[in-house]
Structure 1
Amino acid sequence: MNETVRARAEIDLAAVRANVRALRERAPGAAFMAVVKADAYGHGAVACARAAVEAGAAWLGTATPQEALALRAPEAGLPDDVRIMCWLWTPGGPWREAIEAGIDVSLSGLWALDEVIRAARSAGVPARVQLKADTGLGRGGCQPGDWAELVAGALRAEAAGLLRITGLWSHFACADEPGHPSITAQLNRFREMVAYAERQGVDPEVRHIANSPATLTLPESHFDLVRPGIAMYGVSPSPEIGLPADFGLRPVMTLAASLALVKRVPEGHGVSYGHHYVTSGATTLGLVPLGYADGIPRHASSTGPVLVEGKWRTVAGRVAMDQFVVDLGGDDPGPGAEAVLFGPGDRGEPTAEDWAKAAGTIAYEIVTRIGNRVPRVYVDDAHEGSGT
């Protein structure tokens, strides 16, 4: 750690590339969409998108139009032939800008179809659209009962030269729960809805439903394209299906900070707000300059693990906005010593999954919530067995 850095999230781009290659091996017959929404799950969208493309990703997936447009901007430095898809639209969104940028936009209902048609007329360029089917998740997507109307409207617009239907897609609800009955039900419904659209004349470039867990465990769901998200960053989508190492994946982010203070305190000393932690004897306390404003979950108060000088320590008391305390048990590493919150685990440090357990959440949230006060530092280290 550079002593001038309060904290940093180190992002291993070699691990990104190795993970993409490992995931592609799981779906050799399908194109690969690297999902880089939410700033690449907190890892940095542009840098991770570049690394994924270098490893063979032909598509990039985003949630918001702004994320997609940022990737298409010249300064992102991505090849022009990389396809970018955006799926979370609200009325009045920047449809025209997305169409002019060649971004694939997702449609789940007639209101969106109407808006994209108007935007395509205004732009004088046909839109690239993907029709999303709600096969059982109950979130975005068109209900089966409304599918015929959406397909018919899209085909009329395609015949008029206003759009091209490039994809048919859906999303699993429980692919991270092996054997869940909804998995087979959704696959069957997806096949039915795709078959209907194709009978009506839709000729999509890609059909896709496989997220990270489906890419890893459900080869029958791979179709023409898979779209891993969290797995690309070396985090398992669910401990139930396996740990990252079980799939040849390596965690990409290491979060660390420099201790801001180390001090000796007596027995019975209260620590942090509410004194939910009181020292059981004379000890040393280390101040970690990260808090919930940086994305450290307050729910990990008194439970979050931290590695300091080779030893696991635990958050002592409440996580505050900008800082939290660990009980060092009498050790005195001194201010500036490195405190590793999570990483790949190579040095015995906790992982994002350990923090998820401590906070009662999922590892997705742990990495994604790390805020922009924490600088991302990009490294490109080769690792034995990583394929780099």
Structure 2
Amino acid sequence: MTSTLPARTPAAGGVAPVALVSESALRANAPLALAAGAASGADDVFTADGWGHGAAWVASVLSDLDMDAAALDAAILFGLPGSHARPVLSLRGRSLGSKPLLRGEGVSYGYTHRAPHDTTIALVTGGYAQGVVRSLGNAVTVAIDGRRHRIVGRVAMDVCVVDVEDAPVARGAEVVFFGDPADGHPSLEEWTDATGLTAAEIVAIVGARADRRVAA
């Protein structure tokens, strides 16, 4: 069951991508972060809205655990790449529909991608206005129904295009941009490699701009 926090930037069709923060992951990571100590700027953990996770929500969970953010390693607390802890935040969009793309046809602004063969593409909620950085186009994959598919073409303001090949993708299907690799989701590390941004920068942007919600 999820609870809704105040909505951020609406996306195309009024459906905003969701920055889902996991309370169970945060609770599991907190003792590990405490054992590691404040090695990665944990005294600034609430800067920029709790690194995109929601400062008030994080403070509430830590208070329940009788922990102080200043004593915790923030990278471990939030499960950022390299921490070997569970990612707390994932970004999820929705398919707005799909259509055929014929060999040689281009996608999105400037046609930076042209289909090498006949395929199917899906339009997905989530663009640079919600933290899906433009440089991710033609560079990373998303997960839909347990399969990985590449973002193709330039990322637009509120949407992006995904090459789903021969996989049937229903309108409204969930699209995971990044999350927990243990669940088959793309890792946030793919985004850091593609963009040159740090993991902390990415989660802060996504959490501030997408429709942030809390899951148990």
The Cα offsets for residues 285-305 of structure 1, whole Å up to 9 and x where unpaired, read as 011111111111112121022
Aligned pair partner of 2:83 in 244, 252, 273: 244
Using the size of structure 1 for normalisation, the TM-score is 0.49
Alignment of 1:355 with 2:194, yes or no, is: no
* Structure 1 unaligned blocks of 5 or more: 61-225, 237-242, 381-388
Per the alignment, residue 370 of structure 1 pairs with 206
Aligned pair partner of 1:49 in 35, 55, 59: 59
Instruction: Tell me, yes or no, if the aligned pair for 2:131 and 2:210 is still in contact at 8 Å.
Output: no
Identity within the alignment, %: 32
Distance (Å, rounded) in 1 between the aligned partners of 2:209 and 2:44 = 25
Task: Return the structure number with greater strand share.
Answer: 2
Moved over 3 A (4+): none
Q: Give SS of 1:288's match.
A: strand
Give the AA of the match of 1:244: S
Q: CA deviation at 1:17?
A: 2.1
Alignment of 1:35 with 2:45, yes or no, is: yes
Per the alignment, residue 125 of structure 1 pairs with none
Instruction: Tell me, yes or no, if the aligned pair for 1:305 and 1:355 is still in contact at 8 Å.
Output: no
Q: CA deviation at 1:44?
A: 0.8
Give the AA of the match of 2:60: R
Bigger relative contact order (CA 8 A; separation at least 6): 2
Give the AA of the match of 1:284: T
Q: CA deviation at 1:313?
A: 1.2
Per the alignment, residue 75 of structure 2 pairs with 230
RMSD value over aligned CA atoms?
2.4
Give the 5 Å matches for 1:72-111: none
Q: CA deviation at 1:37?
A: 1.4
Distance (Å, rounded) in 2 between the aligned partners of 1:227 and 1:244 = 13
Using the size of structure 2 for normalisation, the TM-score is 0.84
Q: CA deviation at 1:266?
A: 1.3
Q: CA deviation at 1:33?
A: 5.2
Per the alignment, residue 163 of structure 2 pairs with 327
Q: Give SS of 2:60's match.
A: helix
Per the alignment, residue 81 of structure 1 pairs with none
Instruction: Tell me, yes or no, if the aligned pair for 1:235 and 1:363 is still in contact at 8 Å.
Output: yes
Distance (Å, rounded) in 2 between the aligned partners of 1:260 and 1:369 = 23
Instruction: Tell me, yes or no, if the aligned pair for 1:34 and 1:232 is still in contact at 8 Å.
Output: no
Per the alignment, residue 145 of structure 2 pairs with 309
| C-alpha distance 33-20 of structure 1, shift in aligned 2 (>3 A) | farther
Instruction: Tell me, yes or no, if the aligned pair for 1:16 and 1:232 is still in contact at 8 Å.
Output: yes
The Cα offsets for residues 18-64 of structure 1, whole Å up to 9 and x where unpaired, read as 2121121234xxxx85822111111111001111222232355xxxx
Q: CA deviation at 1:325?
A: 0.4
Distance (Å, rounded) in 1 between the aligned partners of 2:15 and 2:129 = 17
* Structure 2 unaligned blocks of 5 or more: 3-13
Instruction: Tell me, yes or no, if the aligned pair for 2:178 and 2:188 is still in contact at 8 Å.
Output: yes
